Amino acid sequence: MDLGYQGRRVLVIGASTGIGFATASLLVAEGAEVMIASRDAAGIAAAAARIGAEGGRTPATAVADITQEGAADRLLADAAARLGGLDALVDAVGGSIRSPFEALTDADWLGNYQFNVLSAVRAVRAALPLLRQGQAPAIVLLGAAASRMPYPNQIVSNVHKAGLLGLTKTLAGEYAAEGIRVNCVAPGRTLTRLWQDRAEKLAAERGVAAAEVIAEFSHEIPIGRFATAEEVAVMVVWLLSPRAAYVTGQTVNVDGGIARGLL
């Protein structure tokens, strides 16, 4: 199936590693013109070089901390200048804090809100004027299966990732008439740096190997293992493509069956 990415101009935020990186890599392989961004200059340069070495075009890069005020506006202006416009946006920035409710401070709540929600709001707001001029414009945000099945000990991201369900549905309704689609991909447990760091921390606390922690957290996943970043990225790339022209406002779980609710 040709997904229609030849010449399609895409910005992926949070793409030096993990799901963002896998998404950018697949997009380049599909023929898209891609720009990737994250906070660490060396990390994003290395990611671009890795994608180039895989045989596709080396993506353009930008260094940005998307949680900072003004960063999204600067990044989107840069992307438009370097790509000659914009057809699609992926925001893969976000994460959780593992903590019991009463140990969390206001600063924890506000920081994680900026990380998961406000950064996406700002990126979408800065992208809309560009997407209006683009071809088959589309946005994909990264949520979490936790928005449909809250995880114990992760109340902050349970709340904020659930907020992305509302953001996605509302934006989709508001911009459908202009031809702009907005969807969200909700990963379950995915073996990226995020989970590797978490597994190592839990392993150190318990005095066991990180592999044991991963095995333990795999038990309650019906498919019996963590996802790879590529398995999640495939859904991002499909939803972002012109082939998904009639799909908008959806949050699609890619979670190995872990969220057991009907909706």
| Vertex 164 angle, CA 175 and 215, to 5° | 140
Residue 30 three-state SS: coil
What are phi and psi for residue 18, nearest 5 degrees? 65, -145
Instruction: Give the nearest distance from C-beta 208 to ligand NAP in angstroms.
Output: 20
Any contact of residue 251 with ligand NAP (CB under 6 A)?
no
Tell me, by CB under 6 A, how many residues bind ligand NAP: 30
Residue 94 three-state SS: coil
Choices 61-69, 80-88, 121-129, 238-246 (CB under 6 A): range interacting with ligand NAP: 61-69
Instruction: Give the nearest distance from C-beta 75 to ligand NAP in angstroms.
Output: 9
Distances (CA, A) of 162 to 105, 180, 184, 205: 20, 22, 11, 29
Any contact of residue 225 with ligand NAP (CB under 6 A)?
no
Instruction: Give the nearest distance from C-beta 248 to ligand NAP in angstroms.
Output: 20
Distance of CA 190 to the CA centre of its chain: 12
| Vertex 186 angle, CA 180 and 192, to 5° | 120
Instruction: Give the nearest distance from C-beta 7 to ligand NAP in angstroms.
Output: 25
Choices 15-23, 54-62, 206-214, 215-223 (CB under 6 A): range interacting with ligand NAP: 15-23
Residues binding ligand NAP (CB under 6 A): 13-20, 38-40, 43, 64-67, 92-95, 142, 144, 187, 189-190, 192-195, 229
